[in-house]
Structure 1
Amino acid sequence: MATAIADPRAPRATVRRSGPNLEKWGWIYMRVSGVLLVVLIFGHLFVNLMLGEGIHGIDFAFVAGKFATPFWQWWDVIMLWLALIHGANGMRTIVNDYVTHQTTRRVLVWALWLSAAFLIVLGTLVVFTFDPCIGIETSTTDWLIEMCAAR
């Protein structure tokens, strides 16, 4: 008895679900966020490594100076959000491709999104609540004491 293998180019009947096509929007998000991340990351690297003293200039003062301006706060937060959602969506795709058990797949996808959400909230709080003046009594850095006294 011979069995025929269907022609791979033959159209097959697909059942169209109602509602938004989340896979399509996930695919589009990956392309758009990838392009934006390239711009954001190379801008981040250029400012941190090429301008000023380069790698030797990155210290607490450099980070405090960057986080003192809303432009760099938003730059870093947008980069953080895009990167974490992009990575979680990529991991979701890998889980969907390789995990065959439905319950395991659902648990892993939920764990991915919950961990991404936790890191997004934590990172956003760090960027927007960063205060270089906490604990300056023990600091021996003169510029920090002067900056915090001027507040």
Structure 2
Amino acid sequence: MRRKTTRGNFELYSWVFMRASGVVLVALIFGHLFVNLMVGDGVHAIDFAFVAGKWASPFWQVWDLLMLWLAMIHGTNGVRTIINDYAQRDLTRGVLKSLLYLAFTLTVVLGTLVIFTFDPCPPEAPAELLASFCTA
């Protein structure tokens, strides 16, 4: 009778995910850098209005969301592997991984909220606090 090796399969899938997500992240990051630094006026054009203009497009929202999620999952998986390799005691390993997962969750939830709820011109904001391109 063959035993199920769930942990072994998880580690295999984790290893494959790291390679695939790394390739996708390279494409996402270089695309992000190219658009932000090379197109138009380059780094001198990056300001609040530039970000507001980008996030007005669903394409860039999804692009940045994919970059955030993949980078966070990729990095969390890497740190999880390091914790598993170097933390000697089960309690230490459990505490470190709990803190890691908490940091992951907070970053992903807050980042996702920022991307999808970003409004450069909130309707009830005082006019002196609004960006110059907002109509009062």
Is the TM-score greater than 0.5?
A: yes
Q: Is the 8 A contact 2:120 2:131 kept in 1?
A: no
Taking a change above 3 Å as real, the CA distance of residues 142 and 112 of structure 1, as seen in their structure-2 partners, is closer
Higher relative contact order (CA 8 A, sep 6+): 2
Deviation track 1:90-141 (CA, whole Å, cap 9, x = no partner) reads: 1011111111101110221122112101110100000000000123511475
Taking a change above 3 Å as real, the CA distance of residues 140 and 24 of structure 1, as seen in their structure-2 partners, is closer
- Structure-2-length-normalised TM-score: 0.89
Report the equivalent of 1:55: 43
Q: Distance in 1 between matches of 2:21 and 2:132?
A: 41
**Residue 143, structure 1, aligned to residue 133, structure 2:** yes
Name whichever structure is richer in helix by fraction: 2
**Residue 106, structure 1, aligned to residue 94, structure 2:** yes
Where structure 2 has 5 or more consecutive residues not aligned to the other structure, the ranges are none
Report the equivalent of 2:20: 32
- Structure-1-length-normalised TM-score: 0.81
Q: What is the RMSD of the two structures over their aligned residues, measured on CA atoms?
A: 1.8
Aligned-pair identity (%): 58
Q: Distance in 2 between matches of 1:121 and 1:32?
A: 23
Structure 1 residue ranges (4+ consecutive) displaced by more than 6 angstroms after TM superposition: none
Where structure 1 has 5 or more consecutive residues not aligned to the other structure, the ranges are 1-14
